[in-house]
Amino acid sequence: MIMPRGQPLLLPVNPVFMGASLVAALAVNMLPLGRVAWMPDLLMMLIAFWSVHQPQRVGMGLAFMFGLCMDVQHSALLGQHALVYCLLVFGAVSMRRRLLWFSLPVQALQMLPLFFMAHAVALVVRMISGGVFPGWSMVIAPLVEALLWPLISMVLLAPQRRAPDADENRPL
How confident is the model at residue 34, as a pLDDT?
67
pLDDT along the chain (172 residues), means of 10: 64 89 94 78 95 93 95 88 96 93 93 96 91 84 95 90 66 56
| Measured CA distances, 156 to 71, 139, 150, 151 (Å) | 26, 26, 10, 9
Q: How many helices (H) does the chain have, and how many strands (E)?
A: 7, 0
How confident is the model at residue 11, as a pLDDT?
76
Question: Cα(18)–Cα(46) distance, rounded to whole angstroms?
Answer: 9
In the chain, domain spans: 15-160
Contact 52, 10 (CB under 8 A): no
Q: Which of 95, 107, 117, 98 is closest to 51 using CA atoms?
A: 95
